[in-house]
Chain A
Amino acid sequence: MNLHEYQGKSILTKYGVAIQRGVVVEKVEDAVAAAKKLTEETGTSWYVVKAQIHAGGRGKGLVAETGSNGVVLAKGIDHVEEKVKGILGGHLETAQTNGKGKLVSKVLLAEDVYYPGESEVSEFYMSVLLDREKGRNVIMYSTEGGMDIETVSENTPHLIFKEEIDPKVGIQGFQARKIAFNLGLSGEAFKQMTKFVVNLYSAYEGCDAAMFEINPVLKTSDNKIIAVDAKVTLDGNSLFRHPDYAAMRDFTEEDPTEVEADAAGLNFVKLDGNVACMVNGAGLAMATMDIIKLSGGNPANFLDVGGTANAERVEKAFHIILKDPNVKAILINIFGGIVRCDRVAQGVVDAYKNMGSIPVPIIVRLQGTNAVEAKKLIDESGLNVHSAVLLQEASDKVKAVLA
């Protein structure tokens, strides 16, 4: 589950990780009051206005309505309202929003942390994530902060370091020191960085995160180490332990059809193609999408209906699939093992009849327990449903209905 920057920062704060402080603003008219409050708390006189959406590249992104960037600086309280107005309520398009602008319903008004002082400011990169191969969490960090880490990894891979954490003992002091030394720090900044690293890792474990990306981590001119941004992804499987974090889920960031499917217990991902599918099992569902492509179509979705493909679930799945006007055909692919194919076939027929009519052809491939009875049930239903037993037959029938 992805969090907004302001939500991620609230978790970091709980674990003693220093952050660039800010106030969330939802209405333009609240902006100036929020700025005054922030000045009282932090002493800042400049303000950074940051769009809160689930996508990176906000600084370079553009708000469609106003041409403003997604992260802008207001040099003084007199400019705050105008800058907030340029972002809030607009649609922000970034390199990661796939050509569609995302509605900005909140901005974070944050303190300026790049103020001049006794030393130069420097930006670092730091993330915590799972190394799947090793089965351990790693801290990945670099002196090249503030940039896209994929670019750093392509151009200067030797500037990216990894520190593996032993799950038996957690992060150790020597590891935090190694990181701070590798980042070229000394004196007070070194001390602050070791604290930052230890607290950041504790936060990662404590909130059962799947990924932390802090870019940049900033050394300020007065040698503080703070998280200027926070991209936090939580492990969805752990949310039962964290009801307060589960409540942070922002449904407006998700596809409404996916939200509806999720509520119905269906594992659904919306795609851009013209042939929908309904499958039992995630691996077979992906394989079915691939079959659609090989048959000359493009998958309109991923949908795993799970082990109980009864009439109620099938009908719900039909409703969700048919919300997409691009769908020209539906391929149902069920391998009946424990679940009997004739039951699934009956479910399809009942759901079809309940819905009155379905405007696109349906190909039903049922294989496994009672496949023959299932095929007969479909064939004798008199509905616009084509039956298949072998996967290859199903593929050929998709080809035929698309032709």
Chain B
Amino acid sequence: MGVLVSKDSRVIVQGFTGSEGTFHASQMIEYGTNVVGGVTPGKGGSTHLDKPVFNTVVDAVNATKADVSIIFVPPAFAADAIMEAANAGIKVIVCITEGIPVNDMVKAKEYIKGYDTRLIGPNCPGVITAGEAKVGIMPGFVFKKGKIGIVSKSGTLTYEAADQVAKAGLGITTAIGIGGDPIIGTTTKEAVELLMNDPETEGIIMIGEIGGNLEAIAARWIKENGTKPVVGFIAGETAPAGRTMGHAGAIVGGHDDTAQAKKRIMRECGIHVVDSPAEIGKKMAEVIGVLA
């Protein structure tokens, strides 16, 4: 079970034959993900990693019935790749690419509104449903199968949380890396909602960072609709205002998007917020009643 991707997902890789695409596609295949092919314009008809290569996403969908795509296309062409996937009927688009021009994403996000599709990212580590499918760049072995869902803006901090969860005697259903850009396809609230509705998930870890108001919106939604315990952490309490901290979206612009403000809102909405990132796993074990 889990959400978004599973053992039944039929995955294609856009930017399949490039170095990033090749490396991570082979890692995904090794994990057991059902990769059915890839797209590299101009290389259609060939094979790569023993899978067929297509010129366009629509060719790939027609031939393989793919429903999930992962994008490793360079920033200048990535928004175009997202729109191509939506247009071809892909249901879950995972965009790993970092550094896409903001105005390109404004247009791509608007374009895909007209399609029955969900975009994860960009600038994200992808999605993994433990033991079933890895559609991303995360180290698969860290995500032991279990009952906890993770929603996070960050890559390595997600691995950190998953590792702590495993050490606390729990495991992961699905971890969703929503991405660290100012414009992303799936928001914190939407990802949390998916996990709230997943029967296998018993607790949710929500990891945010400074900048924007996605965590506040998610917190208010959880207060009204939450049915499972949520543990939260916001990175960047010590970050100065007005400076971009690595992720393009991680910048304090006002009073409401500091780590302190977000944590306060999350606590008010009943989320179990930890101040130390070392305590995420321990806190989750505590609130769902499993001793570490």
Chain A residues packing against B (C-beta within 8 Å): 130, 132-133, 135-137, 166-168, 205, 208, 210, 235-238, 240-241, 267, 269, 271, 273, 279-294, 298-299, 302, 304, 335-338, 367-369, 390-392, 395
Contacts and interface: CB of A to CB of B under 8 A. Distances in A.
Contact of B209 (A168, A237, A271, A286): A286
B102 interface: yes
Given A132-B249, A283-B180, A369-B139, A208 B157 contact: no
A366 to B, nearest CB: 12
Given A210-B102, A281-B156, A133 B212 contact: yes
Contact of A283 (B155, B212, B217): B155
Contacts of B137: 337-338
B106 A271 contact: no
B246 A304 contact: yes
A246 B148 CA distance: 45
Nearest to B247: A282
Q: How large is the interface on B (under 10, 10 to 19, 20 to 34, 35 or more residues)?
A: 35 or more
Contact of B213 (A133, A291, A294, A337): A133
9 contacts: A205-B103, A238-B101, A269-B245, A283-B157, A285-B246, A286-B239, A289-B236, A337-B139, A369-B141
B246 A368 contact: no
B85 interface: no
The 6 closest A-B pairs by CB, nearest first: A283-B154, A282-B246, A281-B156, A337-B139, A283-B157, A286-B235
Nearest to B102: A235
Contacts of B239: 286, 289, 302
A283 B209 contact: yes
Secondary structure at the A interface, as helix, strand, loop or mixed, is: mixed
Given A285-B245, A286-B246, A392-B278, A335 B102 contact: no
B277 interface: yes
Interface string B90-115: 00000000011111111101100000
Interface in B223-247: 233, 235-240, 243-247
Contacts of A290: 235-238, 259, 275-277
Nearest to A369: B139
A284 B177 CA distance: 13
B110 A335 contact: no
